[in-house]
């Protein structure tokens, strides 16, 4: 068995994007000041990330293999089954990488101390060495987070960590037939959201408080999902009886398109999406994939 490979996943900082747009630090600073902002906090976050990258890379044993991938390159990067993935950034970056993994352990690291550490990036750069040692020794404790999958009737597949949204492409009223396993209902709504236990603090948190405050939501490791229909429209031709519920590991929602087109995307990334036309259907349920995060 060869040396382990550590894959470090990062995202370009706001400072780097400012330099891309304005070419020099001085021009970037002028741009921000003209809008009542300062460069210092932006530069501070950039420098914190650079320092964190140095610390994480120093934590990797010299005889191990290593790779680094930026968020925009994830779709083209080939992960290996034995990889250990270190994600350096915010919760959203962990969600971005999740759909490209299949059980590889993930260490989520927050590079900016005291910046509101998320549930998916609970570790500090200084703790990465111990985390790597625990993983290779078999002593690591994990959270195997359930993911959600959308599958169209023409074979398109999309996985997400937090939630999948199905609705009209232009975010107008979507028309479709919905089945939650108890029968079909014709609906017109602002879309349907199916969420995992990990996604409980995101988009669906407000929906749950309004629509089903007493419903117990799945935990991150639980092979179950919750679902919500946004703003279902009651009319003589559309119903509002099936607008919220839970899905077990073997059940799912099915939507049959009655609009010109419906879109499905996960974790807020509209650029990575499935499209179905009139008469086509899409099913949403528990994904066979999991995201394995280090506790």
**Mean pLDDT of all residues in the chain?**
92
Q: Residue 235 above 90 pLDDT?
A: yes
- Structure token pair of residue 172: 């107008």
Q: How many residues can be counted in the chain?
A: 295
**What predicted TM-score, i.e. pTM, was given to this entire model?**
0.90
Instruction: Write down the pLDDT at residue 37.
Output: 93
pLDDT tens track for 36-78: 999 999 999 999 999 999 999 999 999 999 999 999 999 899 9
Taking residue 288's Cβ as centre, other Cβ atoms within 10 Å add up to 10
According to CATH, the topology of domain 147-288 is: Tumour Suppressor Smad4 (2.60.200)
Q: Residue 195 above 70 pLDDT?
A: yes
CA 28 to each of CA 20, 32, 33, 112, 157: distance values in angstroms, whole numbers, following the listed order: 9, 6, 9, 22, 41
Query: Mean pLDDT over residues 101-124, rounded?
Result: 86
Confidence of residue 268 (pLDDT cuts 50, 70, 90): confident
Q: Residue 281 above 80 pLDDT?
A: yes
Q: Which CATH architecture has domain 5-140?
A: 3-Layer(aba) Sandwich (3.40)
Closest CA to 203 of 249, 177, 165, 256: 165
Whole-number percent of the chain with pLDDT over 90: 81
Closest CA to 262 of 277, 272, 273, 252: 277
Instruction: Write down the pLDDT at residue 181.
Output: 87
Say whether 147-288 and 5-140 share the same fold.
no
Confidence of residue 1 (pLDDT cuts 50, 70, 90): low
Listed by start position, the domains of the chain span 5-140, 147-288
Instruction: Write down the pLDDT at residue 115.
Output: 61
Q: Which residues of 87-105 are buried (b: 16+ CB within 10 A; e: fewer)?
A: bbbbbbbbbbbbbbbeebb
Alpha-carbon distance of 280 to 154, in angstroms, equals 8
Query: What residue spans of the chain are helical by DSSP H?
Result: 14-22, 25-33, 40-59, 91-98, 128-137, 203-211
Higher pLDDT, 12 or 2: 12
Higher pLDDT, 172 or 34: 34
Q: Residue 116 above 60 pLDDT?
A: no
Instruction: Write down the pLDDT at residue 201.
Output: 66
Closest CA to 162 of 112, 127, 114, 197: 197
CB-based contact 174:277 (threshold 8 Å) = no
Alpha-carbon distance of 71 to 163, in angstroms, equals 19
Instruction: Write down the pLDDT at residue 114.
Output: 62
Query: Mean pLDDT over residues 90-113, rounded?
Result: 92
Higher pLDDT, 269 or 135: 135
Query: Mean pLDDT over residues 6-16, rounded?
Result: 94
pLDDT tens track for 128-164: 999 999 999 999 999 999 999 999 999 999 999 999 9
Instruction: Write down the pLDDT at residue 202.
Output: 62
Instruction: Write down the pLDDT at residue 245.
Output: 92
């Amino acid at each position: 068995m060869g040396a382990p490979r550590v894959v470090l996943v990062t995202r370009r900082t706001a400072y780097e994007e400012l330099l891309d747009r304005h070419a020099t630090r001085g021009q970037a600073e002028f741009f921000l000041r003209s809008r009542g902002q300062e460069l210092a906090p932006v530069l501070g976050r950039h420098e914190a990330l650079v320092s964190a990258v140095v610390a994480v890379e120093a934590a990797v044993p010299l005889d191990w293999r290593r790779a680094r991938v930026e968020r925009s390159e994830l779709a083209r990067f080939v992960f290996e089954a034995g990889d250990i993935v270190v994600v350096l950034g915010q919760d959203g970056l962990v969600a971005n990488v999740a759909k490209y993994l299949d059980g590889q352990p993930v260490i989520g690291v927050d590079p900016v101390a005291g910046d509101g550490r998320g549930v998916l990036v609970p570790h500090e750069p200084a703790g990465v060495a111990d985390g790597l040692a625990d993983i290779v020794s078999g002593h690591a404790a994990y959270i195997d987070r359930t993911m959600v999958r959308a599958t169209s009737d023409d074979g398109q597949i999309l996985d997400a960590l937090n939630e999948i949204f199905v609705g009209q492409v232009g975010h107008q009223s979507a028309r479709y037939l919905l089945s939650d396993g108890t029968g079909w209902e014709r609906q017109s709504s602002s879309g349907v959201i199916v969420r995992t236990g990990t996604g409980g603090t995101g988009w669906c948190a407000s929906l749950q408080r309004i629509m089903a405050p007493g419903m117990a939501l799945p935990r991150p490791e639980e092979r179950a999902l919750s679902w919500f229909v946004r703003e279902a429209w009651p009319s003589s031709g559309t119903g509002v009886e099936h607008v919220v519920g839970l899905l077990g590991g073997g059940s799912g929602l099915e939507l049959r398109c009655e609009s010109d087109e419906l879109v499905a995307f996960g974790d807020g990334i509209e650029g990575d999406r499935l499209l179905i036309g009139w008469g086509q259907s899409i099913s949403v349920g528990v994904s066979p994939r999991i995201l394995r995060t280090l506790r």
